Amino acid sequence: MLSGVGLRATLERKFDEPGVAISDRDNVIERMAGHLLASRSDNTVAKYSHQVKLFKDFCAERHFPCEPAYPIHVAMYLSSLIDVGLLR
């Protein structure tokens, strides 16, 4: 499920930033991701994962990069949800 919500990739990017160097990086990332996901119910994590998939599909259909998500692409996605009545 971690890859579905992009949590591991996000944490990895943060640990790759300058000035962040630790010897057990992968272990720390795994523990942090586990703690973050454990703070949410399985249903919430599944919903987040599904929403991320829909956004990625939206981007793929338009040949937009989805990682990193550019604010304009997120705005376009939200606008498309409003257009079809899925968001108010």
Closest CA to 50 of 86, 12, 11, 14: 86
pLDDT of residue 3: 45
Query: Alpha carbon of 56 to those of 15, 30, 71: distances in Å?
Result: 24, 24, 14
pLDDT value at residue 55: 93
Distance (Å, rounded) from C-alpha 38 to C-alpha 20?
25
Q: How does pLDDT run across 34-69, given as a tens digit for each residue?
A: 887 777 777 877 888 888 899 999 999 999 998 888
- The pLDDT of 24-34, averaged and rounded, is 85
Exposed/middle/buried for residue 84 (C-beta within 10 Å: 0-12, 13-18, 19+): exposed
Could you tell me the sign of the dihedral formed by the alpha carbons of 35, 6, 69, 28, in that order? positive
